């Protein structure tokens, strides 16, 4: 297993800055995702780790050794692309054997390793098929097998599931993650799909405009986003403006919001006392007004049913609007009067220390 350390890595394409001084440490055997919108520099970062692009400046270390000047073929990387990139005129077994033949491994070893890795990706019976005789998901598993059969130090995947349909994509997430854990290989995964990054990764690097906006465990990024941009990129969010009323001795701030007073720890100091709070739609509970619960009164303005969940839009009596997501246990209709309740620790103040 290999530790990867990226330090102040920068890439210019002419005058444009694709990657702007990013630093990331990836522990041995860790699975991290580079997550961000199109053009944020994910693929360029991956290509620099692989050695397909030269860095303009900065360091990339594998177990402490700077590989910036090591050519791609000597970096010992396994790579999987969105497009599979299988050799169409070769069978599955030949596709897998190719990298080992290039490394001049003995025939017997090639046969053994190919069979073992095909078994790992559950394609043992498919060795003699050609790529065109396989489904998209099977082709991607062959691409994964081909990357792993050379027993690389690091596995790099660039949007590997983007060509698959939604259901298969979800199955493949679990498949790749399980396989990665079994093999125990340090892995960097590029995606613009937040659900994919969240479900698969130990840690997620959120990138915007060539820079790192946040690097942390999925739950930290979701529950304690570093900025509004991160909060919005990784899920739906309600934004509430608040006003600091007072601060208690234990550094708990009391904040006035449209949902009542909220207590928040480690708040950043703002000169005018203004605070921006974020609240995930599923952190909100709704009760019929007739139930007489304590909370904030509101009216349902729209509802969207999606099977397992319902999304509501609602208008608070104060005039603020909110999105709420619930299980379809209690069904409300537009016009219904409701009481809104939120557990105090579900609020997150932007700029607060995580």
Ligand X SMILES: Nc1ncnc2c1ncn2[C@@H]1O[C@H](COP(=O)(O)OP(=O)(O)OP(=O)(O)O)[C@@H](O)[C@H]1O
Q: What is the contact surface with ligand X in residues (CB under 6 A)?
A: 13, 16, 18, 36, 38-44, 192
Q: Which residues lie closer than 8 Å to 297 by C-beta, 6 or more apart?
A: 289, 316, 317, 337, 338, 339, 340
- The alpha carbons of the chain give a radius of gyration, in whole angstroms, of 25
CA distance 312 to 2: 47
* Region for residue 2 given its phi and psi (left: phi exceeds 0; alpha: psi -120 to 50; beta: otherwise): beta
Q: Which is nearer to ligand X, 2 or 82 (CB)?
A: 82
Q: Which is nearer to ligand X, 229 or 311 (CB)?
A: 229
What's the chain's length in residues? 354
Q: Which is nearer to ligand X, 37 or 297 (CB)?
A: 37
Count Cβ atoms within 10 A of the Cβ of residue 353 and give its class: 0-12 exposed, 13-18 middle, 19 or more buried: exposed
How do strand 4-13 and strand 57-62 relate by DSSP bridges? antiparallel
Q: Which is nearer to ligand X, 42 or 203 (CB)?
A: 42
- Cα 218 to its chain centre, rounded Å, is 7
CA distance 350 to 261: 17
Q: Which residues lie closer than 8 Å to 90 by C-beta, 6 or more apart?
A: 98, 130
CA distance 207 to 24: 12
Point out which residues pair with 59 in neighbouring strands. Answer: 7
For the bound state, the minimum distance from the C-beta of residue 172 to ligand X, rounded and expressed in Å, comes to 18
Q: How far is CA 329 from CA 310, 325, 342, in A?
A: 9, 11, 18
CA distance 350 to 278: 7
Write down the residue that tokens 């990298």 correspond to.
99
Tell me the three state secondary structure of residue 257: strand
CA distance 138 to 123: 8
Q: Which is nearer to ligand X, 40 or 275 (CB)?
A: 40
């Amino acid at each position: 297993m290999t530790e990867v350390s990226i330090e102040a890595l920068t890439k210019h394409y002419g005058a444009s800055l694709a990657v702007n001084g990013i630093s990331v440490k990836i522990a041995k055997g860790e699975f991290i995702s580079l997550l961000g919108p199109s053009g944020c520099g994910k693929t360029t970062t991956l290509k620099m780790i692989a050695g397909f692009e030269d860095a303009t400046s900065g360091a990339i270390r594998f177990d402490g050794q700077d590989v910036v000047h090591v050519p791609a073929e000597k970096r010992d990387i396994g790579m999987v692309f969105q497009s599979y990139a299988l050799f169409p005129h070769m069978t599955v077994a030949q596709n897998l054997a190719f990298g080992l033949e290039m490394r001049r491994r003995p025939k017997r070893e090639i046969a053994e390793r190919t069979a073992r890795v095909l078994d790992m990706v559950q394609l043992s019976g498919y060795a003699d098929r050609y790529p065109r005789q396989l489904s998209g998901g099977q082709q991607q598993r062959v691409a994964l097998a081909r990357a792993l059969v050379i027993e690389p130090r690091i596995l790099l995947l660039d949007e590997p599931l983007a060509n698959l349909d939604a259901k298969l994509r979800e199955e493949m997430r679990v498949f790749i993650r399980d396989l990665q854990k079994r093999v125990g290989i340090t892995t960097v995964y590029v995606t613009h799909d937040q659900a994919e990054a969240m479900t698969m990764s130990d840690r997620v690097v959120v990138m915007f405009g060539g820079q790192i906006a946040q690097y942390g465990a999925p739950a930290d990024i979701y529950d304690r986003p570093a900025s509004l941009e991160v909060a919005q990129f990784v899920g739906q969010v309600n934004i509430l403006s608040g006003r600091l009323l007072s601060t208690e001795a234990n550094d708990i701030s009391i904040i006035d919001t449209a949902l009542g007073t909220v207590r928040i720890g480690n708040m950043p100091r703002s000169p005018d006392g203004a605070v921006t709070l974020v609240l995930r739609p599923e952190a909100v509970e709704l009760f019929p007004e007739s139930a007489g619960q304590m909370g904030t009164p509101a009216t349902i303005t729209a509802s969207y049913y999606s099977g397992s969940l319902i999304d509501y839009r609602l208008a608070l009596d104060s005039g603020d609007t909110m999105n709420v997501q619930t299980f379809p246990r209690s069904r409300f209709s537009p016009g219904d009067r409701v009481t809104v309740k939120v557990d105090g620790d579900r609020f997150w103040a932007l700029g607060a220390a995580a």
